[in-house]
Structure 1
Amino acid sequence: MLMYNEDIKGFFSSREELNMPDYLTLEYYLECVGDIETALAHFCSEQSTAQWKRVGIDEDFRPRYAAMVIGLDVLGELPQLSYSVPHSETGKIHACRVTIAHPHRNFGPKLPNLISAVCGEGVYFTPGVPVVKLLDIGFPQEFLSAFDGPKFGIAGIRDLLKAYNRPIFFGVVKPNIGLSPEHFGEIAFQSWLGGLDIAKDDEMLADVEWSTLADRSCELGKARIRAEKETGEPKVYLANITDEVDQLINQHDIAVKNGANALLINALPVGLSAVRMLAKHTKVPLIGHFPFIAAFSRMEKFGVHSRVMTKLQRLAGLDSIIMPGFGSRMMTAEEEVRDNIQECLQEFGHIRPSLPVPGGSDSALTLEAVYRKVGSVDFGFVPGRGVFGHPMGPKAGASSIRQAWDAIEKGLSLDEYAIGRPELMAMVAVENAKKQHS
C-alpha cells in the first residue's frame, strides 16, 4: 500500500500512549534501505494492518490493530547490506535496532498465529527492509496467563530423580544409530550403574523398523528398573517420540506404558503447537531438542535469535530444553549460550522454569567449565562419547562424570582427585596425551 507522510505517522507511538498489556514487544535488528521511517512504517504495516481501511469508507484500523514502532536506535550507516538479499529499493542503508509493539488481539494465545505475525511473510518481505533478525519477544502477563507452560519444570525433574543441589547427569546412548533394542538397553543399564541420572535416545533415533519405539522402550523400561534396584537411586529413560503429529499421543502412551519416564521431542520439526498439545497430555517430563533452530538462528544479522525459540519452547510446555552448549563444535557464541540458559531460568510470569541442558562434546573434563559458566547447579550435563566412548566402557564413563562433580564439590583439581579413581584417571590421561601431541 502506498505510504504518504500522514500514513507513516500512524505506525509510530510510545509506551506511554499505548496500553502495553495489550501488546507484545518485539526487538528487531533491521537494515533499512532509503528513508528509515517509511521503511519502518511498511515493516509495521506488513506484519499487521497491511490495509487499514476499506475504499470509500472513513475508518482507520491502525489505532486498535497496527503494530507500531515504540523505540528506534539508528546504529549507523552501512556501505552495503550485511547479506546480498535481492531488493528493489535504492538509497542509503542504515542499521537499526527497533522495538515494535504488536497487539496480541491480532492472533490470540496461539503459537502458530503468533509466529506467522512476528516472523512471517510480512516481516521478511517488507519493502525497504531486506535484512531482518528477530532478537526477542516480550510477553505481558495477560498473554502468558493463557499458557500452562512446563508441567514439571526443574523442581519436578529433581523430585523424580531425588537429585538436589547438583546438576542432572544425562547421557546420549552411543552408538546412537544401529543398536538393537537389547544392546541399547544393556549399554544404558551400564551407564545407570555408573551414576547417570538419565540415559537418552539420540534425537535422530525414533520409531524405526530395526528399533521400534515399542521394543526399545520395553527393553529400556526393564533395564531402568534393574538399575534402580541395584543402585538404590531413581533413574530415567528418555525416549524419543518425535514423529508425525497425529502419532505423538499414541507414541507417548506406548513409551510411558513400557517404562519410559521422560520423553524427548524435537520441538521445531514437529511444531510448537504439537509440543503444547503433548504437554497437556503428558504424564512424564517433556524434554526438547534443537534440530532445525540453527538453520535460521546462526546468522548474526538475519533470521531469528535462538533465545526466541528457547522462550517459545518454554511457553509451549517443555520441562527441559537441550541447546547448543559451550564447546567449539557447537559454533555458538558463549553469550548466546548464556542467553538461552537465562531464558530457561528467569522469571516468566507463572510459567515454571525449564531445566537448561547446554550440550556438545562434553565429558568429565568439561564439567567444571560448564558449571562455572552456567553459574548454578540448575542445568543438565549431557555427554555422549564422553560416557559411552570411555576407554573402560559406559559404566566407567558415567562414574568419571560423578567423580568430576565430587572433585568440584571438594575444591580439588581433576588431576588430584583422579588418583586412586581409574575411571576419572583414564579421562585425565587421554587429555594429557592430547596436550603432549599438540
Structure 2
Amino acid sequence: MKASDARAFFASPESLALDDYLLLDYVFECQDDPELAAAHLCSEQSTAQWKRVDVSEDYRPRFAAKVLDLNIEPVPTGFSVPMPEFGDQQVHRCRIRIAHPHANFGPRLPNLLSAVLGEGAFFAPGIPLIKLLDIAFPDAFLSAFQGPRFGIGGIREQLKVFDRPIFFGVIKPNIGLPPEPFAELAYEAWRGGLDIAKDDEMLADPDWSPLAERARLLGAARRRAEQETGVPKIYLANITDEVDRLLELHDTAVAAGAGAVMLNAWPTGLSAARMLRQHTKVPLVAHFPVIAAMSRLPFYGVHSRVLTKLQRLAGFDVIIMPGFGNRMMTPAEEVRACIHACVDPAFGQLKPSLPVPGGSDSAATLESVHAQVGSADFGFVPGRGVFSHPQGPAAGATSLHQAWQAISAGVPVAEAAEQQSELKAALATFG
C-alpha cells in the first residue's frame, strides 16, 4: 500500500457520524512503519481492495474502517512473544482506536466477529501480534438487539431476593452422579438457603445422567424445597449441545421444572444464544469455556471484556465469568472490567446482565469478592463450598447466608463464625 493510499484510512472523530461506527480498541506489535500497519489493519477488516482494476471508483469513503487515534511506543525488548522469523528489527507496540462502519455487516453477530476478530484483523500485513481490547456500540447498532429478557431486576423478582448477592451452587461431583442422588444434593442445598442449584458446565445430556430424567427429578426436588422453605428456587439446567438440539433440550428441561437454562456461550456460538433468547421464557445463563483460550495472552487474542459485552448483546441474563483469586489466573482488574461490561449503562435500552465471577468460592471468600465487586449486584457460585461442606449441602448454603449477614452488619466474617457452626466449619475447610 502506498503512503498516499494509507492516509485514506485515517480520520478525525469530528469528521465522522460516529453513530454509524463501532469503536474498536486494539493493541498490536509491528516492526515496519506503524502508520502503514494501522492502515493495513483497517483495510483488511473492511474494504481490502477498494477499487476494481482500471475503474475509477473508491469504496473507502463508504466502507473503510478508519484510524481515529494511534499511539506508538518503541519496545526495546522486542516482541512480547518470541518470533525469531522476524529478526531483530525495532518493534513498536501500538494502541489504536478504529471506527468501523457497522453497515458493513449489520446487526449480525457472526458477521461482526468475522470483521473485527477475523482474517482481516489477525492476518493484516506487518502485524504478527494483535489483541482486541474493547468495543463500543452506538445506539443505532444497539437498537437492533433485544439483549437480556430478564436482566438483574427480573431474576431478583423471580427469586424474591433484593438485598444481597444471588447464591448459586454447582452440584458436585460435577459429572459423576446419576439423577437421583444429584437431585437429593440440590434439595439439601435449597433447603439450607441456596437460590439456584446448577449443573456443571461439563454436564449436559450424557447417558449416565440424561437431561430429561435429571430435570424431572430436580424439578420435583425444587418444588419440595419451595414448599418447605416458602421461598422461590431455581434449577439451572445445562443444555449445551449441537445447535440443532438446543431448542429440544430447552423445552425438555423447562417443561420438567428448570427455571433457567445454561449455555456454554462460545462453544455453541452467540448466534445460537440469540436464537434461544427469542425462544425461551426463562433466564438464559452463559458459562465461559473457551474464553481463556482466546483472552489470556496480554498482546494477542481478545480481551474478555469484549466477549462479555457480546454475550450481553446476544441476550444472556446471567454471565458467569472467571473470577477473583489465583485459581482463575485472571487479573482482578480484568474481572472488574467484565463485571462493568455486564452493568454498563452505556448500552442503550439493553438490560444489565447479572455478573457471576466464579472459581473456588465459599463462605470464606464472599467477603473479599463483595469488596472487589463493590455492590451486592452479583451472583456467587460455590461448588465445593456448598456441596463439600463437612456438615452437608444444607449447612454449606447456610454458611453463605451467615457470611452475608456478617458483611451486612459490618462484622468481620471470621468473628461472626465463632458463634455459628456452619460458617465456622466453612472457614476451617475452605479458608
Q: TM-score range by the shorter chain?
A: over 0.9
Q: Residues 100 and 78 (structure 1 numbering): CA distance in 2 closer, same or farther, change over 3 Å? A: farther
SS in 2 for 1:202: coil
Q: Structure 1 stretches (4+) deviating beyond 4 angstroms?
A: 85-91
* Distance in 2, Cα, partners of 1:379 & 1:174: 22
From 74, 78, 101, the equivalent of 1:80 is 78
Distance apart, 1:88 and its partner CA: 6.1
Structure-2 residue corresponding to 1:265: 263
Structure-1 residue corresponding to 2:170: 172
Structure-2 residue corresponding to 1:367: 366
Is the CA contact (8 Å cut-off) linking 1:85 and 1:131 kept in structure 2?
no
Could you give the per-residue CA deviations for residues 157-189 of structure 1, whole angstroms, max 9, x where no partner exists? 001000001100000000111111010000000
Structure-2 residue corresponding to 1:253: 251
Could you give the per-residue CA deviations for residues 342-363 of structure 1, whole angstroms, max 9, x where no partner exists? 0001111111000000000111
Is the CA contact (8 Å cut-off) linking 2:190 and 2:197 kept in structure 1?
yes
Could you give the per-residue CA deviations for residues 388-413 of structure 1, whole angstroms, max 9, x where no partner exists? 11111111111111111111112222
* Distance in 1, Cα, partners of 2:222 & 2:83: 52
Is the CA contact (8 Å cut-off) linking 2:235 and 2:258 kept in structure 1?
yes
Residue 192 of structure 1 pairs with residue 190 of structure 2: yes
SS in 2 for 1:418: helix
* Distance in 2, Cα, partners of 1:99 & 1:376: 31
* Distance in 2, Cα, partners of 1:82 & 1:410: 47
Distance apart, 1:252 and its partner CA: 0.8
Q: Give the stretch that moved more between structures: 8-17 or 82-91.
A: 82-91
Distance apart, 1:37 and its partner CA: 1.2
Is the CA contact (8 Å cut-off) linking 1:33 and 1:90 kept in structure 2?
no
Could you give the per-residue CA deviations for residues 104-135 of structure 1, whole angstroms, max 9, x where no partner exists? 11100000000000010111111111110000
Structure-1 residue corresponding to 2:55: 57
* Distance in 2, Cα, partners of 1:415 & 1:83: 44
Structure-1 residue corresponding to 2:240: 242
Structure-1 residue corresponding to 2:355: 356
From 270, 280, 283, the equivalent of 2:281 is 283
* Distance in 2, Cα, partners of 1:289 & 1:115: 19
* Distance in 2, Cα, partners of 1:150 & 1:73: 36
Q: Give the stretch that moved more between structures: 184-193 or 9-18.
A: 9-18
Distance apart, 1:90 and its partner CA: 8.2
- Structure 2 unaligned blocks of 5 or more: none
Q: How do residues 33-48 of structure 1 correspond to structure 2 at under 5 angstroms? A: 33-48=31-46
Q: How do residues 323-362 of structure 1 correspond to structure 2 at under 5 angstroms? A: 323-347=321-345, 348-362=347-361
Is the CA contact (8 Å cut-off) linking 1:268 and 1:292 kept in structure 2?
yes
Could you give the per-residue CA deviations for residues 241-270 of structure 1, whole angstroms, max 9, x where no partner exists? 001001111111100000000111100000
* Distance in 2, Cα, partners of 1:140 & 1:376: 27
SS in 1 for 2:282: coil
Structure-2 residue corresponding to 1:394: 393
For 2:264, the aligned partner's letter is N
For 2:416, the aligned partner's letter is Y
SS in 1 for 2:403: helix
Is the CA contact (8 Å cut-off) linking 1:86 and 1:130 kept in structure 2?
no
Distance apart, 1:420 and its partner CA: 3.7
Structure-1 residue corresponding to 2:382: 383
* Distance in 1, Cα, partners of 2:16 & 2:85: 33
Is the CA contact (8 Å cut-off) linking 1:77 and 1:93 kept in structure 2?
yes
* Distance in 1, Cα, partners of 2:105 & 2:85: 29
Structure-2 residue corresponding to 1:123: 121
From 291, 310, 316, the equivalent of 1:312 is 310
Q: Give the stretch that moved more between structures: 73-82 or 235-244.
A: 73-82
Is the CA contact (8 Å cut-off) linking 1:89 and 1:128 kept in structure 2?
no
Distance apart, 1:77 and its partner CA: 3.4
Structure-2 residue corresponding to 1:425: 424
Distance apart, 1:368 and its partner CA: 0.8
For 1:415, the aligned partner's letter is A
Distance apart, 1:87 and its partner CA: 6.1
Q: How do residues 292-307 of structure 1 correspond to structure 2 at under 5 angstroms? A: 292-307=290-305
Is the CA contact (8 Å cut-off) linking 2:78 and 2:88 kept in structure 1?
no
Structure-2 residue corresponding to 1:209: 207
Could you give the per-residue CA deviations for residues 135-169 of structure 1, whole angstroms, max 9, x where no partner exists? 00111100000000000000010010000011000
Q: Residues 339 and 32 (structure 1 numbering): CA distance in 2 closer, same or farther, change over 3 Å? A: same
* Distance in 1, Cα, partners of 2:38 & 2:54: 26
For 1:50, the aligned partner's letter is A
Q: How do residues 128-143 of structure 1 correspond to structure 2 at under 5 angstroms? A: 128-143=126-141
* Distance in 2, Cα, partners of 1:63 & 1:238: 49
Q: Residues 359 and 39 (structure 1 numbering): CA distance in 2 closer, same or farther, change over 3 Å? A: same
SS in 2 for 1:16: helix
* Distance in 2, Cα, partners of 1:390 & 1:77: 50
* Distance in 1, Cα, partners of 2:145 & 2:236: 25
- Structure 1 unaligned blocks of 5 or more: none
SS in 1 for 2:14: coil
Identity of paired residues, percent? Answer: 62
Is the CA contact (8 Å cut-off) linking 2:367 and 2:413 kept in structure 1?
no
* Distance in 2, Cα, partners of 1:86 & 1:164: 56
For 1:196, the aligned partner's letter is L
* Distance in 1, Cα, partners of 2:87 & 2:33: 10
Is the CA contact (8 Å cut-off) linking 2:389 and 2:429 kept in structure 1?
no
Distance apart, 1:4 and its partner CA: 1.2
Residue 408 of structure 1 pairs with residue 407 of structure 2: yes
What TM-score do you get using the length of structure 2 for normalisation? 0.98
Could you give the per-residue CA deviations for residues 277-329 of structure 1, whole angstroms, max 9, x where no partner exists? 10111110001000000001000111000000000000000000000110210
